[in-house]
A and B are shown apart, each in its own frame.
Chain A
Amino acid sequence: MKKFYILVLMLLVSLSALAQNGRSLYNKYSDLPDVEAVYISPAMFRLIGKIPDVEMQDGSVNFGPIIKSLSGLYILNIPKSEAAAQLADEVNHFVTKGHYELLMEAKDNGEVMRMYTVGDDKIVNSLVMLSRDASETSFICLDGTMPREQLEALIAEAAKE
């Protein structure tokens, strides 16, 4: 009988692991103490899209087309703790299971930053950034139907600044 219960428990754990995404991670960690959490909904993105001339402060980068294609932004900042390590593990698990592609990885003085995307040649459905250093773990997840070309151009243009 014990074996049966263990089997059911394992089934539940694996089911919950398979269903992970930016939202489920946000819901899991956002209410923990000392966690900084930000969520922007699709409705809010629609409102942002109505702001005239959505541009960077210096006017050099146009965010407009990308903003209109976003459907959710999830941010979690967790100070070094067991929860922070668990979040990093879960993000690694969900990007692997979700067939995310590693866009880039940067390491500097113990800080590790990784960026992943999932989608096809034309559309990016989700962009995930995970950065960890000695004091903090940060998770950013942008969901939507972002035109890949525009997103890459935007990042490249902003990176020149």
Chain B
Amino acid sequence: MRKLDEISRLSASDLERISLDEKIPVPEELASRIDSVTRSQSRHILWSIPVAAALAALVAVGIGLTRDSEPADTFDDPYLAYAQVEAVFAKISDTVAYGAGKIEDTETRIDKISYWK
């Protein structure tokens, strides 16, 4: 009996030659054993699909609930919350002001170039 690693080292032509060698006996029950293994695998696949789908649905619902659950408020005091909102608007305004400043600088440079031309 050959070991698996020996078989894996054989070339395609070697395998063909061995398969045509009638001196090597083929077990009588081989065909039925292959058939039963194939059938049990296909039954296993059929059984797994709904289970996997149900698990996927459960995980999706779990993810959805976790992601959409309302977080706890950071502030208890509306004045502190308001101060935070004010800081956010100040940051947004700073960004806009920075952008507007850049546009003004560019316009000034363009005006200067146009004047000297």
Contact = CB atoms under 8 A, between A and B. Distances in A.
A26 B71 contact: yes
Contacts of A61: 89
A40 B52 contact: no
A91 interface: no
Q: How large is the interface on B (under 10, 10 to 19, 20 to 34, 35 or more residues)?
A: 35 or more
Interface residues of A, number: 54
B47 to A, nearest CB: 11
B49, B56, B59, B67 pick with most chain A CB within 10 angstroms: B67
Interface string A72-99: 0101000000000000000000000000
Interface stretch (B6-14, B18-26, B98-106): B98-106
B93 A8 contact: no
Most buried by A among B45, B63, B64, B89: B89
B71 A27 contact: yes
A16 interface: yes
Interface of B: 45, 48-49, 52-53, 56, 59-60, 63-64, 66-75, 78-79, 81-82, 84-86, 88-100, 102
Interface of A: 1, 4-5, 8, 11-12, 15-16, 19, 23-24, 26-28, 30, 37-41, 43-45, 47-48, 50-51, 54, 56-57, 61, 63, 67, 70, 73, 75, 104-106, 108, 113, 115, 127, 129, 131, 140, 142, 154-156, 158-161
